[in-house]
Amino acid sequence: MNFVADQFLAIVLLINIVILGTRRIDIAIRAISIQGIFIGLVPILMHNFSYHLLAMTLLVLAVKAIFIPWLLLRATRKVHFTEDVRPLFGYSGNIIACALTTVLAFAIATHLPLTTAHQGLLIVPVSLATILAGAINLGTRRKAIDQVVGYLLLENGIFLFGLLLTETMPLMVEAGALLDLIAGIFVMGIIINHINREFSSIDTSHMTALREPE
């Protein structure tokens, strides 16, 4: 089933570009939810069936594809913002950066000392590319909610990398990681609300100014 997993991973790469290039937050959130579905389905395609794997897949799908996107969409509806804050290097800059880091990820992945079972897989380069895409989104976006999406992208990349160890990783560890993720999103949601109330905008670049906004 590895070829299906490869196609899923290709779609994950495509979604990275969508998230980095879009200027609408609802599209970014829906994209990250779809990415969650594809990432969640990869382990069940790669490894032999076991109940442990099934439980993990269901848990990941519930959290990444449904619960967190629902939370974020709710937050965007509550905090009304329509301003278009350009990322640091513009949208095209983001896309080019995404392309460069993906090339870099593929270059690095061929040099990593992986076990022979993992060498031909797309998982390592795609996970590195997704982590880097998340880092770019976190670093260049200026709206807090976009940065949350970047954080989720980063987490998706880390999850993919963790798949190499799925068979040895206990369910508790996965569940703990997901719980951390949810807690992180909650905290960020509260912070977004506070930023919005304080500055009547969720552009985080206001936070570096010493004077109060006039």
- Could you please report the per-residue DSSP string of the chain? -HHHHHHHHHHHHHHHHHHHH---HHHHHHHHHHHHHHHHHHHHHHS---HHHHHHHHHHIIIIIIIHHHHHHHHHHHS--------TTHHHHHHHHHHHHHHHHHHHHTTS---HHHHT-SHHHHHHHHHHHHHHHHHH--BHHHHHHHHHHHHHHHHHHHGGGTTTS-HHHHHHHHHHHHHHHHHHHHHHHHHHHHHSS-BGGGGG-SSPP-
Closest to other proteins by CB, 17 vs 114, is: 17
Which segment (101-109, 155-163, 166-174, 201-209) binds other proteins by CB under 8 A? 101-109
Closest to other proteins by CB, 127 vs 196, is: 127
Q: Does 95 bind other proteins (CB under 8 A)?
A: yes
CB of 97 to other proteins, least distance (A): 10
Closest to other proteins by CB, 92 vs 200, is: 92
Q: Does 4 bind other proteins (CB under 8 A)?
A: yes
Q: Does 58 bind other proteins (CB under 8 A)?
A: no
Q: Could you tell me how many residues of this chain bind other proteins (CB under 8 A)?
A: 22
Distance of CA 164 to the CA centre of its chain: 18
Q: Does 205 bind other proteins (CB under 8 A)?
A: no
Q: Does 187 bind other proteins (CB under 8 A)?
A: no
Site for other proteins in 107-136 (CB under 8 A): 110, 122
Closest to other proteins by CB, 106 vs 199, is: 106
Cα separation, 147 vs 136, whole angstroms:
10
Give the tokens for residue 180.
Answer: 């951390």
Which segment (25-33, 68-76, 87-95, 179-187) binds other proteins by CB under 8 A? 87-95
* Contact positions vs other proteins (CB under 8 A): 3-4, 6-7, 9-11, 13-14, 17, 21, 91-92, 95-96, 98-99, 102-103, 106, 110, 122
